[in-house]
Amino acid sequence: MCGITGWVSYGRDLRSEKATLQAMTDTMDKRGPDDEGLWTSQHAALGHRRLAIIDIPGGHQPMTSTRPDGTEAVIVYSGETYNFRELRGTLTNTFRTSSDTEVVLHAHEEWGQGAVEQLNGMFAYALWDSRTEELLLVRDRLGVKPLYYLETEDGVVFGSEPKAILANPLASRNVGIDGLRRLLGFVADPSNAVFDGMKEVPPGHVVRVTKQGLQETRYWGLDDHEHTDDLDTTIATVRELLNDTASRQLIADVPLCTLLSGGLDSSALTALAAQQLSAAGKGAVRSFAVDFVGYADNFVADGLRDAPDTQFVKDVARHVAADHRDIVLSNDDLLEPAHRAAVLAARDYPGLGDMDTSLYLLFKAVREQSTVALSGESADEVFGGYADFHDPKVVAAETFPWLAGSMAQGRDSTSPFSHDVQRQLDMEGYYDDQYRRALAEVPTRPGDVGLEARMRQISYLYLTRFLPLLLERKDRMSMAVGLEVRVPFCDHRLVQYVFGTPWAFKTFDGREKSLLRAATKDLLPESVVQRVKSPYPSTQDPQYSKTILQELGSVLDDSNAPISALLDRTGVEKILGAQDDPHARHAAERVVGINSWLADHTLSL
């Protein structure tokens, strides 16, 4: 998986900046615990931390290819290219390793920038060509792997995470009003990476860096092709794509497992993996699930979850004969200051409270037995699994459906922030602007109107403005413990095929995710086939909420708290008074998290 970083400067000699490059690379030691490498030249410096997955002895980076004229192509790469073996057979180069990184390097030498279009995988990489003195920053189609950059006066600084860029003295730890909007708003925006001047390479894009400046080019995006397959053929095609994707993503030279929640997505993936591993004579699939002390016994249904995961997980594990383990977390685990600090450090800015901490602890336990895990992330966005897809009021709302869905569930709009901060933020205007920009991107068919056109918009919004947030979270929490998490449902062939299918196909049985259910039901226990969508679990222990609200009270009473100047006492007191409201708890976690974060960062409002 790995972490990459680097610096291109056309106005200075970077051979004297090795200490800075080392500092940037050191920030990603957890992403790559197995190896590190640095490479410097006059105008380019590249750093790499390696998590060894493929070709463990031969995959050291930065990786170079020297031409007969003495010029070099140098790459630092993060992720996996699942079709590297097929691509290797089409290239004329002589290979020194069996790694996918070398295949990507030589593919660019033979095919130029268009090489990225041949790659199937999750990846982010930087490639420097000393002959042309150009740098390419490349990111996979769905944005599974992160890649951030900061344009400078004479080049660029980049990294897998903001912290790598912030280790360079040219970067600012300041966060302005736009950055705070991005931090508080649950909408992905690659042009705004929270910190002043910092951006992401957008999914499916290449950023080309030359002496003349930076140029951003899209090499892939969702298109709206006419779907001519009938329903039976569509279901069969989805199954074929899932089989092929699973087989590609089960390749690893290290122990591998699946993340099993008992929902349709992760269960289908676990069943596919079990089937293929068994056929290959590789034994039972290893699976892991997260749980909380007393969660099943004291569970209370809410608007998002109608049953705990436990029984469904057991049903699947038994059905596919998985080697399964539950990771059971306590309040002490979730509230441990060291765990919360590790999560904040991994994220670079506050996230989702206990749902981040529990994911981090799950991954930490998984890493003790496996280096690679397969996750069901993105199936809801691809197949239409969220309740928002099926709520007419939410579908009709002129905003992002997950925001409209929150309002439909009656979440309290009480803000902990002062009226002045709220006025400067203007979150309503921010959301409206982001929504209009996103709608303008949606591919359309001539004369296509009504429900079909609207559902295509909803799908596009989820895939491009919501899914990246979940992928970011999964990347940070997994890489914080050196675990590679693969997401087969993000295979671009599957995403593109299903995006083009009629909405009537996606709901042909009157339920959510009809195509996925039909394509995999033969692999699953009936309890899971019939289960209603349930999101990632969050602890319901009242003592956890009580502790978080107590922390918020302490922040409110501390006039020296970093966040104190931003708060409205009346708004915070309303949150403190809503002891039994889970949304109040989440609001409290957000304030407490930002307060901790501001100890090392500066807000400029």
Just list the catalytic residues. Answer: 2
CA dist., res. 584 & res. 576, Å (int):
7
How many angstroms separate the CA atoms of 417 and 591, rounded? 9
Instruction: Report the C-alpha gap between 104 and 101 in whole angstroms.
Output: 5
d(CA 86, CA 70): 29
Annotated binding residues: 100, 259, 290, 375-376
Contact 48, 74 (CB under 8 A): no
Instruction: Provide the phi-psi class of 143: left if phi over 0, else alpha when psi is between -120 and 50, else beta.
Output: left
Structure tokens at 550: 């107590």
Other Cβ atoms less than 10 A from the Cβ of 430: the count is: 18
- Which residue ranges make up the annotated binding site for ATP? 259, 290, 375-376
The set of residues, in sequence order, having a beta carbon less than 8 Å from that of 268 and lying 6+ positions away, is 242, 376, 379, 516, 520, 523, 524
Contact partners, residue 469, CB within 8 Å, separation at least 6: 186, 187, 188
Strand ranges inside 263-320, DSSP E: 286-292
DSSP-derived letter for residue 39 is: E
Task: Please give the single-letter amino acid code of residue 426.
Answer: D
The bridge status of strand 372-374 relative to strand 484-486 is parallel
Specify whether the CB–CB gap between 286 and 322 falls below 8 A. yes
Per the CB < 8 A criterion, the answer to whether 128 and 44 are in contact is yes
CA–CA distances in Å: residue 452 to residues 237, 378, 447, 558: 21, 21, 11, 53
DSSP letters along 408-439, please? Answer: HTT-----SB-HHHHHHH-HHHHHHHHHHHHH
Residue 79 φ then ψ, to 5°: 120, -155
Q: How many other CB atoms sit within 10 Å of the CB of residue 352?
A: 22
Cβ atoms within 10 Å, residue 319: 18
Strands 148-152 and 198-200, sheet pairing: antiparallel
Torsion of CA 470, 472, 474, 480, to 10 degrees: -160
Residue 301, SS3 per DSSP? coil
Q: Is 427 exposed, middle or buried (0-12, 13-18, 19+ CB in 10 A)?
A: middle
Binding site, annotated residues for L-glutamine: 100
DSSP 500-539: TS-HHHHTTTSSTTHHHHHHHGGGS-HHHHTPPP--S---
